[in-house]
Structure 1
Amino acid sequence: MSGAVTRFRFMAYVVGVGLLLLVVAMLVKYVGDSAGMMRVVGPVHGFLYAVYLVLTVDLALKARWSIKGTALVLLAGTIPFVSFIAERRVVASLHAGKAL
């Protein structure tokens, strides 16, 4: 299960940073009236979020998380900064031997 945790942690950080870049790209698009950055960051973030979903479900199945806990961690990648918080809580609960 350590491999699944490592993959999840990596993708949680990547998706968190990608989401912050997406927010910046949206600001540039709507405030600066320039959609160039959004054309690149949007699809990349979408792909990375899909990978995050797959790796999170993989970890959830291996760690026997509840459906509610799994859904909350999956949604963490959609709110800026929350994926960082979720990653810390997931790792802490796994080290404590608790399921989400």
Structure 2
Amino acid sequence: MPPKIRAALSRYRVSAFVVGWGLILLVLLMILKYGFGGATGRFDWTVAVWGPIHGVLYVVYVLLAFDLAYKDRWSLLGILKVILAGVIPGVSFVAERWVHRSVLARRKI
């Protein structure tokens, strides 16, 4: 595997892990806010702080996915699958494994 693709794959894998856990945390914080915060607004600040941080992390994930896709010449459908995997809690972990195995095996995504 070319070094540029290996480096892009490593960056993508880290971002998929971070975004996956970040989204799970955001969902948990939203459950706290809307399920247990009620009218008191005790947990409003948690989503207000973590939401934008997760948004930035997701943008970085998308950029790194595009970088890997460009270097490994993915199809448009493959790119869309990987990008959408970052918005469903837990699916980015599955997509990361799929991408990792496919890139190592030199299969087109």
Asked if these proteins are the same fold (TM beyond 0.5), I'd say: yes
Instruction: Look up the SS of the partner of 1:86 in the other structure.
Output: helix
Structure 2: how far apart are the matches of 1:94 and 1:7?
A: 13
1:23 aligns with 2:27: yes
Runs of 4+ aligned structure 1 residues displaced above 4 Å come to none
- 1:35-46 superposed matches below 5 A: 35-46=44-55
In the alignment, structure 2 segments of 5+ residues that lack a partner are: 38-42
Give the TM-score, by structure 1 length: 0.98
Q: Which has the larger radius of gyration?
A: 2
Structure 2: how far apart are the matches of 1:5 and 1:57?
A: 11
Counterpart for residue 87 of structure 1: 96
CA deviation vs aligned residue, 1:33-87 (integer Å, no higher than 9, x gap)? 2212101110010000000000000000001000000000001000011000000
CA RMSD of aligned residues (A): 0.6
Structure 2 letter corresponding to 1:6: S
Give the TM-score, by structure 2 length: 0.90
Give the paired residue count: 100
In the alignment, structure 1 segments of 5+ residues that lack a partner are: none
Instruction: Look up the SS of the partner of 2:67 in the other structure.
Output: helix
